[in-house]
Chains A and B, each alone.
Chain A
Amino acid sequence: MLRFVVRRLLQAVPVMLVIVTVAFFLQRFVPGGPFTTEKRLPPEVQRNLDAYYHLDDSLGKQYADYLRDLCPKRFYPHRLLADANHDGRADFDLKSAFGIDLRPSFRSSRTVNEIIAAELPVSLTLGALALGLALLLGLTAGALAALRHNRWPDHLGSALALTGICVPTFVLGPLLVLVFAVYLRWLNASGWQEARDAVLPALVLGFAYAAPVARLARGGLIEVLNQDFIRTARAKGASEARVVLRHALRGGLLPVVAWLGPATAGILTGSFVIEKIFQIPGLGREFVTSVGNRDYTLVLGTVVVYAAFIIVCNLLADIAQAWMNPKLTLE
């Protein structure tokens, strides 16, 4: 187990390196830059800017320096949740936790570390709510469909799942805003101030991901429920609830667990759209803006954070899968 985790984390190192390298050089080899404007900057201003951001170094040196600053130098994960600023929320400080310095942003007065610390928790909250909702809705619908196979709950569930797949979040989101915020006035159209502001975004994002959960859970459960050991359990007089909850669920949910790893990547990118629709100050919106602004360090920083997050989630999904399925070994 430990060996598996360590090996996977070591495998993640070259993947991260590839990601950082591609993202770094992709930005640099293309004409234009963060200070490209209609009017040329006075040469001395340009010189100062270049010196401040080390743009006057050779590209190779800049790359090496960036990698050096990116390398984790310590490991105090609990410091992520510490509150050194005493503002009542976790600092999410990558520097004090891992010694990772993502440099100052080119377009903002804040450093990339500060931007991520302020905005990643928002995106994570949104993502976690959406994922929870997707699992709740999807598992319920999928299990109902499997237990009432080929009867109306099954058909209704499949129709709903297809709707979730075919009505994109960027259509559903504004429509729900129209109904619940503009006509009914139950919720705010956008923003992220009150707790209820999370309802619509999480609902829209969650609904989109409930669809694959429902499909996978339905398929997995139907397959398991047809197996011999389920018949045996029934023959021994186990109640239907016991058969489903104790015997079928574990195997039947395996496809869902396998899907969870890739799904986190989807939820992250899905949040680009959601954060734009609902004007949520999260990292997704920041990323899209920063790419447009050619904010070198902010783009790199967000890409690194996203990639690390996806790698960790894939790892967790694999561990959960092996835990649920004794036939799989962690290899």
Chain B
Amino acid sequence: MSDNQQPMPMLPSPPVADAAGRSPWAEAWRRLLRNRLAVFGGVTLLALVLLSFLGPLFSQSFRETDLTNTFAPPGAAHWFGTDNLGRDLFGRVLFGGRISFLVGFIASFVALTIGVTYGAVAGWVGGRADALMMRLVDIIYALPFTIFVILLMVFLKDPMQKFDVWLTGFRWFAGWQGAGKILLMFAAIGAVEWLTMARIVRGQVMAVKKMEFVEAARALGFGPARILFRHVLPNTLGPIIVYATLTIPAVMMLEAFLSFLGLGVDAPMSSWGTLIQDGADKVEEYWWLLVFPGGIFSLTLFSLNFFGDGLRDALDVRAAKD
């Protein structure tokens, strides 16, 4: 795909002249609140995140095994039933959500940081350096990247396990078995997902840098780094935010995909991907093991998509959709 089509700068639309004189961001917020699906998505998402992160603090039943009560169907005592070791599935799903959200947020943040910096520098510098940098992105785009993520996940497993042992040797990190694997996942997924972000930011920066206020900043004698990061980038924030909300579900999907293949999060940690994989193996006898983790995972993706689409409409971003 060529990128000779420069998207228009996505400045927040100029404030509507009314008595209150609202800022463009306040205007976008109002538009977002009027979108019922987006509000539904946002509220569901918030609830799921809070439950995942706070729920396991109150109940540890997902760790407790009860071999007299294995594979109990959903009921009053265990809302989602229990698994092969008698652990409460509801608690396991909440705890799994913690890992899934963590991977989703942090890997997206990694991708965001790399993508924004790379794209901004390429768009700002322009010329040969830009052509070279973007050519590199094109080449990486052409690689079968999921395949490389799989290779990385498998081949770096042993070094990461050593790192794990080293890390958990410290008193502070004593309970963090499996953290190394998850760190590896952040890096591997982040390394895949930054490409589109770099392209979007580059286009935005190229459009914004020709504007008068950049000229003004230069006339005031500001250095290039200050102009780029303090003046140009904030004006490309809309598409960045929108694309970030679309990256999170993509990352969570990739995490679940890897975990489903048995390449992601290992026991004793579990993510939604590993729970789904476990459920898929046993679905013929114990349907709840698949239906609940899968259902919650899909609900999360639905809410993220609703919220992201709502944000896109509210911030009036068109180009960030791919």
Contacts and interface: CB of A to CB of B under 8 A. Distances in A.
Interface stretch (B126-134, B149-157, B183-191, B214-222): B149-157
Nearest to B285: A182
B16 interface: no
B308 to A, nearest CB: 11
Interface stretch (B91-99, B110-118, B224-232, B275-283): B275-283
* Residue in A22, A174, A258 whose Cβ sees the most chain B Cβ within 10 Å: A174
Contacts of A268: 144
Nearest to B301: A166
B155 A27 contact: yes
Contacts of B156: 30
Given A168-B297, A170-B256, A291-B151, A277 B146 contact: no
A22 B297 contact: no
B298 interface: yes
A276 B305 CA distance: 27
Contacts of B151: 23, 26-27, 291, 299, 303
Contacts of A162: 302, 305
A273 B146 CA distance: 12
Nearest to A285: B261
B284 A189 contact: yes
Contacts of B152: 26
A314 B294 CA distance: 33
A26 B155 contact: yes
Nearest to A189: B284
A30 to B, nearest CB: 4
B283 A168 contact: no
Interface stretch (A92-100, A141-149, A304-312): A304-312
Q: In terms of DSSP, what is the predominant structure of the interface of chain A?
A: helix
Contacts of A272: 150, 261
Contacts of A22: 148
B159 interface: yes
A166 B284 CA distance: 23
A273 B283 contact: no
Contact of A306 (B144, B249, B284, B287): B144
A292 interface: yes
Nearest to A32: B158
A307 B139 contact: no
A291 B151 CA distance: 7
Contacts of B291: 175
Contacts of A120: none
A282 interface: no
B144 A258 contact: no
Contacts of A292: 154, 262
B253 A168 contact: yes
Contacts of A59: none
A2 interface: no
Given A171-B276, A174-B280, A269 B294 contact: no
Given A168-B256, A171-B294, A265-B144, A177 B283 contact: yes
A233 interface: no
A178 B287 contact: yes
A288 interface: yes
B194 interface: no
Contacts of B287: 178
B142 interface: yes
B142 A311 contact: yes
Interface in A21-36: 22-23, 26-27, 30-32
Contacts of B301: 165-168
A174 B154 contact: no
B302 A30 contact: no
Nearest to B150: A291
Contacts of A189: 284
A178 B276 contact: no
A138 B155 CA distance: 38
A49 interface: no
A287 B249 CA distance: 26
Contacts of B284: 177-178, 182, 189
B294 A165 contact: no
B1 A168 contact: no
Contact of B143 (A19, A166, A167, A273): A19
A156 interface: no
A303 B302 contact: no
B283 A269 contact: no
A30 B160 CA distance: 11
Interface in A207-225: none
Nearest to A284: B261
B195 to A, nearest CB: 12
A71 interface: no
Contacts of A273: 257, 260-261
B39 interface: no
Interface of B: 1, 139, 142-144, 146-148, 150-152, 154-156, 158-159, 249, 253, 256-257, 260-263, 276-277, 279-280, 283-284, 287, 290-291, 294, 297-298, 301-302, 305
19 contacts: A19-B144, A31-B158, A166-B298, A168-B294, A171-B290, A175-B290, A258-B1, A265-B146, A269-B144, A269-B146, A273-B260, A287-B147, A288-B150, A288-B263, A291-B150, A291-B155, A303-B147, A306-B147, A310-B142
Given A168-B294, A291-B154, 10 more contacts: A15-B139, A23-B148, A168-B297, A168-B301, A170-B280, A173-B280, A178-B284, A265-B144, A273-B260, A303-B151
The 8 residue pairs across chains A and B that have the minimum distance between CB atoms: A171-B294, A166-B301, A174-B280, A269-B146, A30-B155, A174-B283, A170-B260, A166-B302
Interface of A: 15, 18-19, 22-23, 26-27, 30-32, 162, 165-168, 170-171, 173-175, 177-178, 182, 189, 258, 265, 268-269, 272-273, 276-277, 287-288, 291-292, 299, 303, 306-307, 310-311, 314
